[in-house]
Amino acid sequence: MISPADNDNTDDPMIFIIIGKAYETKGGEGIELHIMLRAPDDDTAVRDALNALSEEGFLEADLDQIGVLQDEPPEEPHASAYQGALEGEVAIIRFD
């Protein structure tokens, strides 16, 4: 379902999923999360994800994996996040 990101300059924006951990306080415990968003390439996806995390009040983030979704996820909360990403939103799924 996830393929490695590549920069092949396609016309259609891709739906990326980024897996990582973000921190709301300096030295605090990290929150596991998945970020889904539409972007033309992986560099833009990472930049937009970090901006969205900052807007949500996170101070730091460790982004571990990035990939491109080939199909719509069948289960929630990823299915709704995928739809939001198609509409241009940056969806942040928190695993508290």
> Which amino acid would we find at residue 69?
L
Q: Please name which of 58, 22, 19, 18 lies closest in space to residue 38, comparing C-alpha atoms.
A: 18
pTM, two decimal places: 0.85
- Residue 28 gets which letter from DSSP? -
Query: What does the pLDDT profile of the chain (96 residues) look like in tens digits?
Result: 455 545 455 556 799 999 999 999 988 999 999 999 999 999 999 999 999 999 999 999 999 999 999 999 999 999 999 999 999 999 999 998
Q: Quote the pLDDT of residue 58.
A: 96
- Each as own residue / partner, the long-range contacts of residues 88-91 (CB below 8 Å, 24 or more positions apart, any chain) are 88/38, 89/37, 90/35, 90/36, 90/37, 90/48, 90/49, 90/51, 90/52, 91/35, 91/36, 91/37
Q: Quote the pLDDT of residue 10.
A: 52
Q: Quote the pLDDT of residue 38.
A: 97
